[in-house]
Amino acid sequence: MTPALAAESKTLFRLTGSNTVGAELAPRLVKGYLHSLKATDIKQRSDDEHHWISARLDGHAVEVPIVALGSSTGFKALHSDSADIGMASRQIKQKELEMLARFGNLTGAEAEHVIGLDALVIAVHPRNPIGQLTIAQLRQIYSGEILNWAELGGPDLPIRPLHRDIESGTRATFDREVFGGSQPAAGNVYEVSGNAETHQLVLRQPGAIGYLPFADATDVKKVAIKAGDLAAVIPDRGIIATEDFPLTRRLYLYKNPSQYKPHVDSFLQFVESPTGQELVAETGFINLTPVALKMTPYPNAPETYRALMEKAERLSISFRFADGSSELDSRALKDLHRLEQYMDNADRELSLTLVGFSDQKSNSNITDIISRFRALKVQGALLRDHQLGDSRILALGAFAPLTADREQAPIKNSRVEVWIN
């Protein structure tokens, strides 16, 4: 039930969906947006996963309700017109695209807004000696094939896997990255009500294992994850920012592209602005503002790439392509603007190198051509739309794949890195 004030308040817009986005991030962004409009008396009332942000704007009482019950509920609310913005901690699914097809393209830049990055941290009890797992071992744990930590070199202790509910975008991300798609829970898996319960059980139960958003995993034991031939890594802000960590995920806001509501569009613009992105970082997630990262050269890297890694810095932006196609995805189109702003604000003249990668194909000539084509695609967009023409291209084919998963490989491995010096 909304507060009594709601009867006389004007609803600016309504958000429904992901608990990861809706628990703390969305309320903070709404309050920041209202503050940017010079609203006064900004307050928050919460009841479990329901939040109401109220304020006075231009002398009138206004309110923004937020319902955070899982990513799937956001798309259902857009479908029933009970929300103006759907919050999601994973990309919209094919069946949801079909359900909302009457509104237009929900994966286009007008409807789909990437607002930050997160990673699923695999967490175990602080006394558990296991420090590294492969994606394949995670799959065996959550499918019930491995039932005791002793099978992995740990103590003789039953494993208690903790899983989010089927409506959760966090669960959907885990299932996609570990199983390649939605997967029914094994009989020994315990379903938790949310991230808070996962956190509590991991700290209390020696046999527990679960997954948590990066922002919620500050005081648990984090397990390094190994995917394919890449080294095992514990996620930090840098590797999440590049989206190279295997369990990285994007945080989304979706709107109906066939509707124009001034406050909806203004709010989305605020969230993607430097001020909004600062609030994303303050909430513990990784924002989309480009940062320069010094990377350790790969020992098996081609000589040209190794030389680049030694002398240059990598920007956290990585351009990716929609569904493995040749078209830049919704985040990439906005990252073009972020890269232009980064170059304009630099205190020295920078040179750009665009490094293209492709998915593994049977013919190495094809992978080289595809990786070069992707880098040229980004270079052309920078020159055509942003007057950034001074860049060189390095095509590395299928070197350094980020995943071996057949379904995810075309999207994750086909990328263009940005290096500056």
Kindly report the pTM of this predicted structure. 0.87
- Per-residue pLDDT, 231: 80
76, amino acid identity: K
Beta carbons within 10 angstroms of residue 231's beta carbon: 10
With tokens 């990262």, the residue in question is 293
Q: Which residues contact 258 (CB under 8 A, 6 or more apart)?
A: 102, 103, 104
Distance between CA atoms of 59 and 41, rounded to whole angstroms?
Answer: 11
Alpha helix ranges (H) inside 273-363: 274-282, 303-311, 330-345
343, amino acid identity: M
Judge contact between 418 and 392, C-beta under 8 A: no
Distance between CA atoms of 159 and 420, rounded to whole angstroms?
Answer: 46
Average pLDDT over residues 229-244: 87
H/E segment holding residue 364: helix 364-386
Judge contact between 109 and 328, C-beta under 8 A: no
Judge contact between 254 and 86, C-beta under 8 A: yes
- Per-residue pLDDT, 122: 97
Distance between CA atoms of 279 and 32, rounded to whole angstroms?
Answer: 8
Q: Report the range of poorest mean pLDDT among 31-45, 180-194, 245-259.
A: 180-194
Q: Which residues contact 304 (CB under 8 A, 6 or more apart)?
A: 394
Average pLDDT over residues 386-409: 79
Average pLDDT over residues 229-238: 84
Average pLDDT over residues 174-191: 88
- Per-residue pLDDT, 409: 58
With tokens 């069946």, the residue in question is 95
Q: With the C-alpha atoms ordered 51, 56, 57, 60, is the resulting torsion angle positive or negative?
A: positive
- Per-residue pLDDT, 7: 53
**pLDDT tens for residues 79-124?**
999 999 999 999 999 999 999 999 999 999 999 999 999 999 999 9
Judge contact between 83 and 256, C-beta under 8 A: no
CA dihedral 8, 11, 17, 20 (to 10 degrees): -90
Query: Which tokens is 187 given?
Result: 């009989």
Return the closest-CA partner of residue 192 out of 159, 214, 166: 166
Given a cut of 50, whether residue 4 has pLDDT beyond it is no
Return the closest-CA partner of residue 112 out of 82, 81, 74: 74
With tokens 């603007």, the residue in question is 337
Return the closest-CA partner of residue 320 out of 361, 252, 265, 377: 377
Distance between CA atoms of 257 and 89, rounded to whole angstroms?
Answer: 19
Q: Report the range of poorest mean pLDDT among 47-61, 143-157, 205-219.
A: 205-219
- Per-residue pLDDT, 195: 87
Distance between CA atoms of 388 and 236, rounded to whole angstroms?
Answer: 30
Distance between CA atoms of 180 and 408, rounded to whole angstroms?
Answer: 7
**pLDDT tens for residues 240-299?**
999 988 899 999 999 999 999 999 999 999 999 999 999 999 999 999 999 999 998 888
Average pLDDT over residues 12-18: 97
The answer for 60, left when phi > 0, alpha when psi is -120 to 50, beta otherwise, is beta
Return the closest-CA partner of residue 56 out of 5, 3, 22: 5
Judge contact between 197 and 208, C-beta under 8 A: no
The rounded percent of the chain whose pLDDT value lies above 90 is: 73
Radius of gyration for the chain, computed over Cα atoms and rounded to the nearest angstrom: 22
